[in-house]
Structure 1
Amino acid sequence: MARILVAGDWHGNIPWMETALRHAAGAGCTALIQVGDLAVLWPAGNGGDKFTRGLQRRLDEHRITMVSVDGNHDVHPLLRSLPLNAEGFGVLSHRLLYAPRGHRWEMGGVRSGALGGAYSIDRVRRKLGRAWWEEEEIAEADVERLGSGPLDVLITHEVPAGIDVVSPFPRRLLEALEPDSYTSRILVRDAVRNTRPRLVLSGHRHQRLTAVMPGTETRVHVLHKESFTGNLVSLDLETLAVEDVRVVRASERRG
């Protein structure tokens, strides 16, 4: 397993999930990391059950194991209640695993850590307990659980403070809510400073960018959301080099 794929937000998008996994299988990929806002286990009536079953079926079909952290648009109470396997992952199926906040593991000899969660800027348009959950935000306890031991790769949903991002939300909404959102960004920054990873892989901000954390040697890759170039990247576990992957849709192949 010298090379794996890493995916940005999917938001329960079934066609994109199927396209991305088809590409992963074609590239010989057996493992995929996802940075949150996967939207499995979404409440009945909103498509979550269909997406979860479809994802489990496609992972089995392509023989791919997927590990996801939680984003802000994930069902936190259900993820936190999942049974844990011997490696400490929450189990949705034998090929679909959830990495709890603060969890550490090794993949191909690479010391890896998980710190999911973020603040929903759009929560004013969502219903509590149906489309957002109070557990979405990162807490100091999550950072403490991750600890201070060195990491090679840190998988987060939110982008650490210190990395300039462009917001897709209206300025008026940002002025009201961005200070609350920034609290989570500061906690991710603290986790980076504590663990000194060579690489951080994030999502949440619906854009593709790469930058180095100020005052560190940590390179941060922010992945785009589903259906956009930059949602899927290749990670070399020997060198930690990251390369963008262009996913060809079925319609493009037919064309």
Structure 2
Amino acid sequence: MTAIRIIGDVHGKFRDYRDIIRDVPRSIQVGDMGVGFRNRFGEPTANPPYDSMSRGDHKFIRGNHDNPQACERHPYWIPDGSFVPATNGDMQTGIYCLGGAVSIDKAWRTQGLDWWPDEECSYAELERMIDDYAAIKPDVVVTHDCPSSIANEILSAFNMKKIEDGSRTRVALERMLESHQPREWFFGHWHVSLSFVRGQTRFTCLNELEHVDVDI
């Protein structure tokens, strides 16, 4: 087995991100990296540190607070629904990755500057990914959001008010979980730190800049 570092939301704090990846050869960041934001004048803000990421195998999935088009142009972005094999090429011990989520604060954001309408995958894309996931049966999963049932547990654990946001991503992730329970499932988005076991799966919600090392 080889270790890979899983990193929580970065939100544009790239100096801290550099420090986190400095001493490891391989990492995956769970989205909300802070890619493609523009200021109120329409000027691009800072992007992830290409130089540090290129010194190893450091990649990220997209969150709802990442510009999808900018992610597609970034050389270290992991496309939605991708399977990242283990270093030894073992297809059973790799990592399944899926980004995207609903922004509950989109009413206060500006389209094209800090919010994007394609923040979630389409229904058709998610249906295809559900089928792919069931066929792959991955050992480890990294997503930005989490399955619906796990979201409900977080809401209860932290006494959060439930907001009906119509997230098709959570519904799709729940269907994936029903078809196959991986060994580990890592996600961010919720800005809390929590780890617990449900069924055969350990779920780990990473807070901002929190990170853990996992063997694959």
Q: Which moved more, 1:5-14 or 1:39-48?
A: 39-48
- The AA in structure 1 aligned to 2:3 is R
Q: Does 1:69 align with 2:61?
A: yes
Specify which structure has the bigger relative contact order, considering alpha-carbon pairs within 8 angstroms and separated by 6 or more residues: 2
Report the alpha carbon displacement of residue 15 of structure 1 after superposing the two structures with TM: 2.6
Runs of at least 5 residues in structure 2 that lack an aligned partner in the other structure = none
Alpha carbons of structure 1 residues 12 and 32: separation in structure 2 relative to 1, 3 Å: same
Identity of aligned residues (%): 28
State the partner residue of 2:191: 206
Q: RMSD of the alignment, in Å?
A: 2.6
State the partner residue of 2:154: 165
Q: Which moved more, 1:39-48 or 1:103-112?
A: 39-48
Are 1:12 and 1:48, in contact at CA under 8 Å, matched by a contact in 2?
Answer: no
Report the alpha carbon displacement of residue 77 of structure 1 after superposing the two structures with TM: 2.3
- Note the alpha carbon deviations across 1:101-160, whole angstroms, 9 max, x for none: 111231233232111110011112111111111111243333333221111111100021
Q: How far apart, CA to CA, are the structure 1 residues paired with 2:68 and 2:58? A: 18
| Superposed counterparts of 1:83-232, under 5 Å | 92-93=74-75, 97-108=76-87, 109=90, 110-146=93-129, 147=132, 148-149=134-135, 150-163=137-150, 164-166=153-155, 178-213=163-198, 216-226=199-209, 231-232=210-211
Larger Rg: 1
Scaled by the length of structure 1, the TM-score of the pair is 0.71
Are 1:121 and 1:181, in contact at CA under 8 Å, matched by a contact in 2?
Answer: no
- Note the alpha carbon deviations across 1:185-220, whole angstroms, 9 max, x for none: 22211122234322111000001111234xx41221
Q: How far apart, CA to CA, are the structure 2 residues paired with 1:73 and 1:212? A: 28
Runs of at least 5 residues in structure 1 that lack an aligned partner in the other structure = 83-91, 238-255
Q: How far apart, CA to CA, are the structure 2 residues paired with 1:50 and 1:100? A: 21
Scaled by the length of structure 2, the TM-score of the pair is 0.83
Question: Between Structure 1 and Structure 2, how many residues are aligned?
Answer: 204
**SS of the residue 2:81 aligns to:** coil
Are 2:53 and 2:59, in contact at CA under 8 Å, matched by a contact in 1?
Answer: no
Q: How far apart, CA to CA, are the structure 1 residues paired with 2:52 and 2:148? A: 36
Are 1:138 and 1:187, in contact at CA under 8 Å, matched by a contact in 2?
Answer: no
- The AA in structure 2 aligned to 1:132 is W
- Note the alpha carbon deviations across 1:2-40, whole angstroms, 9 max, x for none: 111110100111231122123xx1xxx210011100112
State the partner residue of 1:234: 213
Q: How far apart, CA to CA, are the structure 1 residues paired with 2:12 and 2:110? A: 18
Q: Does 1:39 align with 2:24?
A: no
